[in-house]
Amino acid sequence: IDFTDDPTGHLLLEPQSTNLITYSSDFSSATWNASTDVIVDEGYLSPEGTLNATKVTKDGTNAKLAMFIGGTAPITKSIYARTVSGTGTAYFGEGSGGVLSTVTEQWQRFEITVSGNNFYAVDFRGAATLTEVIIFGAQFEQKSYATSYIPTSGSAVTRNQELCNNSGTVNDFNSEEGVL
């Protein structure tokens, strides 16, 4: 998913990458530890425009939705999130010891590069002020940056490196004109 506001054309060529989360948008799957004081409700409108996002609601003091994954650093965790209404804070990627993020009613992708293996889709503990969020597209990559979303549904998925063959040489392009 590419959410760019750039009106000019662009070509995004990405390296090979693997999303190690086996259910990237099915947060009711048993691989997600949903028994920790949250309510998981599916069927919300996602950034893709379909009803495959999930509302997670705080339902106790240990309110987090997590998956435990093994990986080798560096690790970048990312997830799309928005509030049901208003603005507030929650933790994404890492637990309540991670980066507290401000969430609005607009879809945003939250990214964090760390060495920890646990993935928190959302954590309402600690200094978090929200009690519910809508989430979509969890991704766990063994890279120092996030690549575009790689959907999964039951196993890790690898996207091959993207190439642009026969597109010219550096002599065909310059930084002033930006034309092909």
- DSSP labels, 56-119: EEE-STT-EEEEE----SSEEEEEEEEESSS-EEEEEES-TTS-EEEE-SS-EEEEEEES--EE
Residues of the chain where predicted confidence (pLDDT) is lower than 70: 1-12, 34-35, 161-163, 165-180
- The pLDDT assigned to 149 comes to 95
Quote the pLDDT of residue 137. Answer: 97
pLDDT of residue 13: 73
Question: Terminus-to-terminus CA distance in the chain, angstroms?
Answer: 24
In this prediction, residue 176 carries a pLDDT of 57
pTM: 0.83
Q: Which residues contact 153 (CB under 8 A, 6 or more apart)?
A: 23, 24, 25, 26
Say what the pLDDT of residue 56 is.
97
